[in-house]
């Protein structure tokens, strides 16, 4: 099941932002590098993002820009404990799972071992205050 | 946590890593371990096993090899050859020689020489003249690439930024060499994707160019141009298709 992705082109069009702005926000850490997902398409390599995550972030940046500087926002975002997410990198892309999205997990091989509790416990531990 | 000791190696020497104030190596020096210092200067040949973090200036004139990351918060100046098996971070980064590394992040990058990076190069301003290879993304607010009349090339994974300008020096030189020396080669920029707000190119080979205002100049071979505001293609350029988006 694919996360809903939005292409970089569509993202820029939707919010009326320029390439320069997007790249600037990436350099400032406002949009993390691993959010840029490269996929091969008919017209060549294109970049996609997880739609929900990136749109939330872009809206936050656009709404914030007038009241506080981008630098301040970058600092806030780097310090903020965002919702813990399990990030799995595969040769085919990056998959992200929030805690509530993990219904069960097991390791299958000669035997099957349920690791759900172990995996969920990894989401605990750090103080998750926003 | 003291940074009171200076470290000087003249001739041949080997020291352990640690915290120092000013480090100066002239001759042949080896450093074992991570280093934290105020300033770092190499003239000669030096190698380090570990990372170097320098609060001030780092200058390398000679041959320097390091198995770790290099950080020079104020300035990193290389005139010689510097091979970093790690990431390079600096404020002002000036290379007149050769720099090799994994990735590079700086405020301002000035290259007049060769740069070989596996990954990305990011800076607020990037001024490059000379050849080399950047495996990943070259990203800066202002990217200015100056191609000369040699036969080298600058190969970049992709280029992204606000203002991207590729210019070719010596239109006059080019004419001169054509009159007297036959056809000399031209340095070229070779990349798969260029994205910017303002993009002006010459002697560039690129699959896809995207921008608001795009000018494709002489010597270009471009697959596809996607522009939103304006597009100009000079006569001596080849563009397979141009689309207004």
What is the per-residue pLDDT across A10-38, written as a single tens digit (0 to 9) for each?
999 999 999 999 999 998 889 998 899 98
- How far apart are alpha carbons A78 and B235 in whole angstroms? 48
Chain A residue at shortest CA distance from B225:
A43
B174-183: burial string, b at 16+ Cβ within 10 Å, e else: beeeeeeeee
Residues of chain B scoring pLDDT < 70: 1-3, 149-151, 170-185
B142–A contact, CB cutoff 8 A: no
Residue-level pLDDT at A99: 83
Distance CA A106, CA A49 (A): 28
* Inter-CA distances, B9 with A113, B2, B15, B40, B224, Å: 58, 20, 9, 12, 55
What is the rounded distance in angstroms from the CA atom of residue A90 to the CA atom of residue A83?
A: 22
pLDDT for the residue B197 = 95
**Tens of pLDDT, residues B71-99:** 999 999 999 899 999 999 999 999 998 99
Alpha carbon of A130 to those of A64, A75, A120: distances in Å? Answer: 17, 14, 20
**Residues of B whose CB is below 8 A from A43:** 208, 224
pLDDT 10s digits, B43-56: 989 899 999 999 99
pLDDT at site A127: 44
pLDDT band with cut points at 50, 70 and 90 for residue A130? very low
Answer whether B203's CB lies under 8 Å from B220's CB.
yes
pTM: 0.78
Residue B117 CA to residue B132 CA, distance in Å, equals 8
Contacts of B104 in chain A (CB under 8 A): none
CA–CA separation, B55 and B36 (whole Å): 8
Residue among A20, A22, A31, A42 with most chain B CBs within 10 A, to mutate: A20
Which of A12, A16, A22, A23 would you mutate first to test chain B, the one with the most B CBs within 10 A? A23
Distance CA B233, CA B225 (A): 10
| Beta-strand relationship, B114-117 and B204-216 | unpaired
Closest CA to B139 of A44, A26, A49: A26
Choose between A97 and B3: higher pLDDT. Answer: A97
**3 state SS of A24:** helix
The pLDDT score that the predictor gives to residue B164 is 97
Q: Which residues of B234-245 are buried (b: 16+ CB within 10 A; e: fewer)?
A: eeebebeebeee
8 Å CB contact of A20 and B196: yes
Return the structure tokens found at B236: 């001596």
- Of A69 and B230, more confident: B230
Instruction: Transcribe chain B into DSSP letters.
Output: ------EEEEEEEEEEEEE-SEEEEEEEEEEEEEEEESEEEEEEEEEEES-EEESSEEEEEEEEEESS-EEEEEEEEESSEEEESSEEEEEEEEESSEEEESEEEEEEEEEESEEEESS-EEEEEEEEES-EEEEEEEEEEEEEEEE-SSS-EEEEEEEEEEEEEEEES-HHHHHHHHHHH------EEEEEEEEEEEEEESSEEEEEEEEEEEEE-TT-EEEEEEEEEEEEE-TT-EEEEEEE-
Chain A residues close to B162, C-beta within 8 Å: 18-21, 23-24
Residues above pLDDT 70, as percent of chain A: 82
Complex ipTM value: 0.75
Decide the pairing of beta strands B114-117 and B70-78: unpaired
Place of tokens 């301003």: B125
Q: How far apart are CA B140 and CA B125, in angstroms?
A: 5
Chain-centre distance of CA B69, in angstroms? Answer: 17
Q: Do B160 and A24 touch (CB under 8 A)?
A: no
- Packed helices A8-15 and A19-27: angle between N→C axes, nearest 10 degrees: 110
Choose the closest CB to A43 out of B195, B196, B224. Answer: B224
B183 or A71, which is more confident? Answer: A71
Mean pLDDT along residues A47-62 = 93
- What pLDDT is attached to residue A125? 59
Q: Do B161 and A20 touch (CB under 8 A)?
A: yes
Among B115, B129, B39, B53, CA closest to B81: B115
Residue B219 main-chain phi, psi, to 5 deg: 75, 5
Is-contact A28 B122, C-beta < 8 A?
no
CB B196 within 8 A of CB B180: no
């Amino acid at each position: 099941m694919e996360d809903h992705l939005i292409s970089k082109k569509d993202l820029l069009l939707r919010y009326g932002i320029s390439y320069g702005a997007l790249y600037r926000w990436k350099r400032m850490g406002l949009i993390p590098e691993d959010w840029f997902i490269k996929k091969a398409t008919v017209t060549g390599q294109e970049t996609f993002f997880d739609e929900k995550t990136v749109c939330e972030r872009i809206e936050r940046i656009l709404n914030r820009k007038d009241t506080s500087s981008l630098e301040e926002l970058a600092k806030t975002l780097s310090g903020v404990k965002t919702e813990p997410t399990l990030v799995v990198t595969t040769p085919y892309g990056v998959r992200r799972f929030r805690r509530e999205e993990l219904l069960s997990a097991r390791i299958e091989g000669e035997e099957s071992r349920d690791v759900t509790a172990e995996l969920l416990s990894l989401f605990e531990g750090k103080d998750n205050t926003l | 946590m003291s940074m009171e000791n200076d470290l000087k190696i003249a001739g041949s020497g080997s020291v352990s890593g640690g915290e120092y104030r000013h480090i100066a190596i002239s001759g042949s020096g080896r450093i074992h371990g991570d280093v934290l210092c105020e300033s770092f200067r190499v003239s000669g040949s030096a190698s380090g096993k570990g990372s170097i973090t320098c609060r001030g200036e780092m200058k390398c004139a000679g041959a320097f090899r390091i198995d770790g990351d290099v950080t020079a918060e104020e300035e990193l100046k290389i005139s010689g050859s510097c091979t970093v098996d790690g990431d390079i971070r600096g404020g002002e980064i000036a290379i007149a020689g050769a720099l090799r590394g994994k990735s590079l992040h700086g405020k301002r990058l000035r290259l007049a020489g060769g740069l070989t990076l596996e990954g990305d190069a990011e800076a607020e301003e990037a001024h490059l003249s000379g050849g080399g290879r950047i495996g990943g993304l070259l990203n800066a607010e202002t990217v200015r690439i100056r191609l000369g009349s040699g036969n080298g090339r600058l190969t970049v994974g992709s280029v992204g930024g606000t203002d991207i300008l590729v210019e070719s020096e010596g239109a006059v030189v080019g004419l001169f060499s054509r009159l007297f020396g036959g056809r000399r080669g031209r340095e070229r920029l070779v990349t798969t994707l260029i994205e910017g707000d303002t993009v002006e190119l010459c002697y560039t080979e690129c699959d896809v160019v995207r921008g608001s205002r795009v000018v494709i100049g002489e010597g270009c071979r471009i697959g596809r141009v996607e522009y939103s505001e304006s597009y100009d293609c000079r006569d001596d350029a080849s563009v397979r298709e141009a689309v207004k988006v």
